[in-house]
Amino acid sequence: MNKGSIITTVLVFGIISLILLGSLLSFILLQLKTSEELLAWEQSLYIAESGVAYYQWCLNHGIEESCDLSKTYLDAEGGSLGEFNLTIVENVSCGEVIDRNISSAGHTLKFPDGERTIEAVYGRVSVAKFAYLIKDSVWAGSDREIGGLYHSNGGIRMDGHNQSIVSSSQNEWVCTDSFGCDSCPASCTLEDDLCMCPGVFTTTENPNIDLFSWPATPFSFEGITVDLAQIKSKAGSDGIYLPPSDTIDVSADGYHLIFNNNGTVEVRIITSLYSNWAYSSEEGWHYDYFRINNEYFYDTYTIDEACSAVFAEDNIWIEGTVDRKVTLASADLLEGSKDTTIILVDDLNYVSSDGTDGFAALAEKDILISPSSPDDMELRGIYIAQKGHFGRNHYPNNLKSNLEIVGSIVSSGRVGTQWTSGSSVVSGYAQRNNYIDSKLIYSPCPFVPYAEYDYKIIKWEEVE
């Protein structure tokens, strides 16, 4: 082989080697760039998440109005890595923010086109997280089926079936005859003729005692007192306001409200009521006037979706099917001469159970079930008796079959919808089932009080 052939061969193989080396280097550089882009893609998600977390911090510190909606994201060494941009949409009803929809778009500075977006909904936990929230001591009978948190600042005798935590703020309490402790139960002790019982106890095998908790932190009922004057003001300007019924008709005894499934409410004026011989723990034996005798049609109102608040300056009787999220309040804020009551006449249901509809009833005093209530009754919503209690008085020879409540009961006084004599049910509902409405926990009706004030993520998803 001559020198020319050797040189040609070397040049050919050298060129091939350079081409292969160049291709290899290009492949390596492409892989490095791809790896950097993949890393930046992941980092963009973290940056977007940090935007969501940053706004949550702003909300929980009450400084959301001064929070930057665009912010640089720093790496561990303090260098600028990327940035996020926030878009906030508030869900407002009656001027009150119910929850916030947050969109956070994040990207790295090196690869700004690799942006990723997270959408989150922030809300606060309302009292709808509780099946029952009671200030006074209470006895849950053996027929009870309770699906949800059950809390009392007093003592609890839980003889029913519980599916969640039952908590009392008491370490021990005096269980009296009215709680069935005329003979002191085995789990309690007799001290100086007083039956002293644990904060939560049972006399049946029905409950899950592993879910009993006491003494628990007392719940601040003062902290959830609803500003009825605020509801009245909003209802007067943007919702529905009903003045004292006797200013319309001197013979009036209150209003009868029937909610219709088309977003309207029919209002009737009650002119006379039947009396019923009744017993309650607060008043003893007495005559009450909760059964309608005569009434007449007054008007039909359309409930404004922008402010679905109804305020009546009188006692009110309610029933029907609710369309949209409605808050109904009853209080006497003019003269303050009486504490008003809400009477539940018949079923209260929703058009839809997907969370778009809801109901909250707030009474200055009591929320009571009428003596003429149906044999099988269904109630949906949040029922708050601020100064009084939720229940049904004892009416002799007035025994009903089944009461189902899907929602929450918040009551200052002792709750009771069944009355017994010995081991026999003599009045009220023989079977009672309670379940929370989880869709109202973070997205309640306007003016429903909160159980917790920090904002939490209700919903989180990445969007294209």
- Mind listing the pLDDT tens digit for each residue in 262-306? 999 999 999 999 999 999 988 899 999 999 999 999 999 999 989
What is the average per-residue pLDDT within 70-90?
A: 88
372 pLDDT higher than 90: yes
452 pLDDT higher than 90: no
| Whether residue 16 is found in the same domain as residue 62 | yes
| Whether residue 36 is found in the same domain as residue 132 | no
| Whether residue 134 is found in the same domain as residue 106 | no
| Whether residue 110 is found in the same domain as residue 141 | no
Give the domain extent around 20.
3-126+457-463
Q: Which of 254-258, 371-375, 423-427 has the lowest mean pLDDT?
A: 423-427
Whether the Cβ atoms of residue 162 and residue 208 lie closer than 8 Å to each other: yes
**Residue 424: band (very low, low, confident or very high) from pLDDT cuts 50, 70, 90:** confident
240 vs 311: CA distance, rounded Å: 6
84 vs 53: CA distance, rounded Å: 11
Q: What confidence score (pLDDT) does residue 9 get?
A: 66
Q: What's the token pair of residue 16?
A: 């091939």
Give the pLDDT confidence of 239-256 residue by residue, as tens digits: 999 999 999 999 999 999
Q: What confidence score (pLDDT) does residue 285 get?
A: 94
Instruction: Return the bridge partners of 70, or none.
Output: 85
| Whether residue 382 is found in the same domain as residue 283 | yes
**Residue 103: band (very low, low, confident or very high) from pLDDT cuts 50, 70, 90:** very high
Count of residues in the chain: 464
Give ∠ CA 383-388-390 in degrees, rounded to 5: 40
437 vs 458: CA distance, rounded Å: 15
Beta strands in 54-213 (DSSP E): 70-74, 80-93, 96-108, 116-126, 130-134, 138-140, 145-147, 149-152, 156-158, 161-162, 166-168, 172-174, 189-191, 194-198, 200-201, 212-213
Helix (H, G, I), strand (E, B) or coil at 317: strand
| Whether residue 113 is found in the same domain as residue 209 | no
Q: Which residue has the tokens 């409605």?
A: 326
78 pLDDT higher than 90: no
What is the average per-residue pLDDT within 13-20?
A: 68
Provide the whole-model pTM. 0.87
Give the pLDDT confidence of 326-360 residue by residue, as tens digits: 999 999 998 877 889 999 999 999 999 898 999 99
| Whether residue 115 is found in the same domain as residue 132 | no
| Whether residue 115 is found in the same domain as residue 196 | no
Q: Which residue has the tokens 């160049």?
A: 22
Q: What confidence score (pLDDT) does residue 41 get?
A: 84
How many CB atoms are located within 10 Å of the residue 269 CB?
22
Task: For the chain, give the mean pLDDT.
Answer: 90
| Whether residue 351 is found in the same domain as residue 409 | yes
Whether the Cβ atoms of residue 187 and residue 123 lie closer than 8 Å to each other: no
Whether the Cβ atoms of residue 302 and residue 324 lie closer than 8 Å to each other: no
| Whether residue 192 is found in the same domain as residue 116 | no
Sign of the four-CA dihedral 341, 344, 349, 351 = negative
Q: What confidence score (pLDDT) does residue 30 get?
A: 57
Q: Which residue has the tokens 């911090």?
A: 57
**Residue 316: band (very low, low, confident or very high) from pLDDT cuts 50, 70, 90:** very high
| Whether residue 106 is found in the same domain as residue 144 | no
In percent, how much of the chain has pLDDT > 90?
A: 69
| Whether residue 103 is found in the same domain as residue 203 | no
Q: What are phi and psi of 212, to 5 degrees?
A: -80, 140
The structural domain count of the chain equals 2
3 pLDDT higher than 60: no
